[in-house]
Amino acid sequence: MNWLETFRSAVDAVRAHRMRSILTMLGIVIGISSVILTVGFGQGAQDKVKDQISALGSNLLIVSPGSTTSSSGVRGGFGSASTLTLQDAEAIADKTVAPDVKNVAAQTSTSAELVNGTTNWTTSIVGTTTSWPEVRKRSLSAGRFFNEDEVTSAAHVVVLGADTASELFSGPVSPVGQSVTVDGTQMTVIGVLASSGSSSSGTSEDDQAVTPMTTAKRLTGSTNASVSTIYVQAQSGDALSAAYQEIDGLLTNLHGVSASTADFSISSQQSLVATANSTNKTLTVLLTGIAGISLLVGGIGVMNIMLVSVTERIREIGLRKALGAAPRVIRRQFLVEASLLGLAGGIIGVIIAVVGAAVLPSLINQPVSLSLVATAGAIGTSLILGIGFGVYPASRAARLTPIDALRSE
């Protein structure tokens, strides 16, 4: 009996007991679909975290002020001091000092009430420079961002976040060109930021009003050059570490401090990505292990059914051996049947997983990213399970002697 005949016989044997074959494959189907969807959920969560953090800025380093200490010895948290200035931002932007820095955007922020007619909304007023959209990877859905002339002249212009614009303006009228009042000062809306769908430090990136740094200083009555944050964009992801070292060394020298007494801190988005992905990977491995148990159960089910099949077909096995069939032919027959059950269960499981990946995100608001490698691996695993758990029943059938098999009732 050649391989083609063996395959045809195996297919006939599986089709002869359809319901039993379906129930046998059920464990593998559940296991394969569970493993693929679990890995998909984990990968989807990692992609979502990367997208959200990337929305805050690409290749971004965040320089924050240090902490304050009151006369009574009470220490404030990081960012409570006023140790960063516009001069620091200008020094960091100098290519001769920090060649791995691409762009710099200093920022100061305060809370203020915006009024449009009878509508008011309290939000964060962000004062910054013209490089802010590029550094923070923000685009505009309408209008434009302010230019250098408007920064120099402290023009009364403002760019609204998507949520801020929707709270102050309703209906078909575009906010661009309209006026809002900020703490009694009338300002013209020149643009609306596209929604980023992300948040930073617990505040929505879509609920803010961005103005020139000089304008923000005038609104708050501030005359100093201090800033609350300096955002730095590195030349590339590979240059992030080098940019970090350059900024750290530069600010240490400018402020006359040492590493132990530094009055500033530098953080990167990469550390946030690494922490989030580490947590997601741990959960994915845990859930995949749980789903893998059902695969093991499915494999045991294949072995049990194949043992039943051997028992039912003892006389058939004896007749084949009496007609000259070698033990390897008998063994191959049952291994092919077991592998067919495993492979069919794997394919059905993959189909269910693909359908689930298409339907579930809209139901649970969680992305599912199917991996081609994981899917191919799942099908291969189901085939290996079928063969692995079919070895014992196939070997048992091959060891039967013709005379004993023919005498069996």
The predicted-structure confidence for 123-136, as pLDDT tens digits, reads as follows 999 999 999 999 88
pLDDT of residue 398: 76
Q: Where are the domains of the chain?
A: 3-52+274-407, 106-232
Q: Which residues pair with 105 in a beta bridge?
A: 231
Residue closest to 133 by CA, chosen among 103, 162, 109, 113: 103
Mean pLDDT throughout 282-301?
73
Over residues 142-152, the pLDDT tens digits come to 999 999 999 99
Cβ neighbors of 294 (< 8 A, separation 6 or more) are 27, 30, 31, 34
> Mean pLDDT, to the nearest integer, of 301-313?
75
Q: Which residue has the higher pLDDT, 29 or 199?
A: 29
| pLDDT category of residue 80 using cuts at 50, 70 and 90 | very low
What span, in angstroms and rounded, lies between the C-alpha atoms of 117 and 404? Answer: 98
Lowest model confidence (mean pLDDT) among 116-120, 285-289, 350-354: 285-289
Is residue 179 within 8 Å of residue 223, measured between CB atoms? no
* β-bridge pairing 185-193 and 157-160: parallel
Q: How far apart are CA 409 and CA 406, in angstroms?
A: 8
Does residue 308 register a pLDDT over 70?
yes
Task: Report, as an integer, the average pLDDT of 336-351.
Answer: 86
* pLDDT, tens digit (0-9, with 9 covering 90-100), for 311-335: 777 777 777 777 777 777 778 877 8
**Which residues in 15-27 are b (16+ Cβ under 10 Å) and which e?**
eeeeeebeebbbb
Say yes or no to pLDDT of 157 above 50. Answer: yes
Nearest-10 crossing angle of helices 372-399, 18-55: 150
Q: d(Cα 105, Cα 211) in Å, to the nearest integer?
A: 13
* Residue 71 clears pLDDT 50, i.e. is over it: no
pLDDT at 50: 67
Residue 76 has pLDDT above 60, yes or no: no
Given this model, what pLDDT does residue 214 score? 93
Pairing state between β 208-212 and 119-128: parallel
Opening angle at CA 38, ends 32 and 40, nearest 5: 100
CA atoms within 13 A on the CB side of 395: 7
How far from each other are the two terminal CA atoms of the chain, in whole angstroms? 26
User: How much of the chain, in percent, has pLDDT values that exceed 90?
Assistant: 29
Q: Mean pLDDT over residues 99-105, rounded?
A: 92
Task: Determine the average pLDDT of the residues in 29-53.
Answer: 77
The CA distance from 61 to 58, in Å, is 9
Nearest to 350 by CA among 31, 106, 58, 114: 31
- Name the burial class of residue 250, with classes exposed (0-12), middle (13-18) and buried (19+) by CB atoms within 10 angstroms of its CB: middle
Give residue 275's pLDDT.
67
Token digits of residue 61: 């380093």
Tokens of 36: 């693929």
For residue 9, give both structure tokens.
């016989």
**pLDDT above 70: percentage of residues in the chain:** 85
What number of other Cβ atoms are within 10 A of residue 119's Cβ?
12
* 294 vs 28: CA distance, rounded Å: 7
Mean pLDDT, residues 24-50 taken together: 79
Based on DSSP, count helices (H) and strands (E) in the chain, helices before strands: 13, 12
